């Protein structure tokens, strides 16, 4: 068994309903090491943070080569499992998604998020059957590489407020079933933290459920009690970090003061973290 294969199996084991894996999403090697330094059992990337850090907008605008290179840097920077947000797969066809996944696995990742938005011709979501084909292609590529990749199938029904509110739960559950049948290992439903909805999702999906949390969301303890197996922060950590940069720059330009630079990670601590190799 290779080290990557063992990391992948370990990553699977971290998804326990009621004892959720919590992920403060990183976007570069430094943020990944900071997350790992807290004792986090895994590191997840945020596609938005990755794109912004590389000078691109989120939403399938980053070139696949750049995304894969960044994933390799993150995976090489830490010893814990890394799961990569690959947006909708960086490809228009299932074969292109399979190529992406093969490259992401070769870069060292043991998990992926793959989303069902945007759909073709201006639709919010891809048809479920089409997305299932892309997930099946991802599974085949990972199997061919010999790595039990954790495929976290993201559906954006709630995030994009697709359709009538009364029908969103049924649509999400239907898509979740299709994606699991195609080879997904878990289902990610961003866009809702309503306890009633979350509880219905965990009861209706026969796999680990991932919820995206942030300010105003129920606590980890509350979500755990609802049966959630994975909680992630998405782009929120990157947004908060860039907010510090913006506020400090604005303060310098307008008042000539430096209050927003208070309470940083000390230079020596951060530099030592980056100089110390993996882990």
Residue indicated by tokens 């100089």: 275
Is residue 129 a part of any domain in this protein? yes
Give the pLDDT confidence score for residue 276 in this predicted structure: 78
Is residue 264 a part of any domain in this protein? no
Report in angstroms the alpha-carbon separations of 200 from 172, 204, 206, 227.
11, 6, 12, 10
Is this prediction's pTM over 0.85? yes
Total domains present in the chain: 1
Contact residues for 210 (Cβ-Cβ < 8 A; gap 6+): 152, 154, 186, 187, 188, 189, 228, 229, 230, 231, 232
The 8-class DSSP code of residue 45 comes to B
End-to-end CA distance of the chain: 21
- Convert the pLDDT of each residue in 221-271 to its tens digit: 999 999 999 999 999 999 999 999 999 999 999 999 999 999 999 999 999
Is residue 258 a part of any domain in this protein? no
Is residue 113 a part of any domain in this protein? yes
* Domain span including residue 15: 3-237
Indicate which CATH number applies to the domain containing 230. Answer: 3.20.20.60
Is residue 120 a part of any domain in this protein? yes
Is residue 244 a part of any domain in this protein? no
Give the pLDDT confidence score for residue 248 in this predicted structure: 98
Is residue 265 a part of any domain in this protein? no
Asked if residues 193 and 213 have their Cβ atoms less than 8 Å apart, the reply is yes
Q: What are 69-72's contacts with CB under 8 Å, separation 24+?
A: 69/107, 70/28, 70/45, 71/45, 71/104, 71/107, 71/108, 71/109, 72/107, 72/108
Residue indicated by tokens 């559950």: 173
Is residue 248 a part of any domain in this protein? no
Asked if residues 66 and 54 have their Cβ atoms less than 8 Å apart, the reply is yes
Question: Taking Cα atoms as reference points, which of 100, 98, 95 lies closest to residue 85?
Answer: 100
Low-confidence ranges of the chain (pLDDT < 70): 1, 277-279
């Amino acid at each position: 068994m290779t080290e990557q294969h063992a990391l992948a199996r370990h990553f699977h084991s971290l998804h326990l309903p009621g004892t959720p894996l919590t992920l403060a999403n990183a976007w570069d090697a430094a943020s990944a090491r900071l997350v790992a330094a807290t004792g986090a059992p895994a590191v997840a990337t945020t596609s938005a943070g990755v794109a912004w850090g590389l000078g691109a907008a989120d939403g399938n605008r980053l070139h696949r080569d750049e995304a894969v290179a960044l994933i390799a840097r993150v995976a090489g920077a830490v010893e814990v499992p890394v799961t990569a947000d690959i947006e909708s797969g960086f490809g228009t066809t299932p074969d292109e998604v399979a190529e992406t996944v093969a490259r992401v696995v070769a870069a060292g990742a043991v998990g992926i998020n793959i989303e069902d938005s945007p759909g073709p011709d201006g639709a919010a979501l891809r048809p479920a059957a089409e997305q299932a084909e892309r997930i099946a292609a991802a599974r085949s590529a990972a199997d061919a590489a010999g790595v039990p990749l954790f495929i976290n199938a993201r559906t954006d029904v709630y995030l994009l407020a697709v359709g009538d509110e009364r029908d969103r739960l049924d649509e999400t559950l239907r898509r979740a079933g299709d994606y699991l049948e195609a080879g997904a290992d878990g289902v990610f439903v961003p866009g809702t933290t309503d306890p009633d909805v979350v509880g219905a999702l965990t009861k209706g999906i026969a796999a680990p459920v991932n919820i995206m949390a942030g300010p105003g969301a129920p606590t980890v303890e509350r979500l755990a009690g609802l049966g959630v197996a994975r909680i992630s922060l998405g782009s929120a950590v990157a947004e908060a970090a860039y907010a510090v940069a913006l506020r400090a720059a604005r303060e310098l330009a307008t008042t000539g003061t430096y209050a927003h630079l208070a309470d940083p990670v000390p230079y020596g601590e951060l530099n030592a973290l980056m100089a110390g190799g993996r882990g």
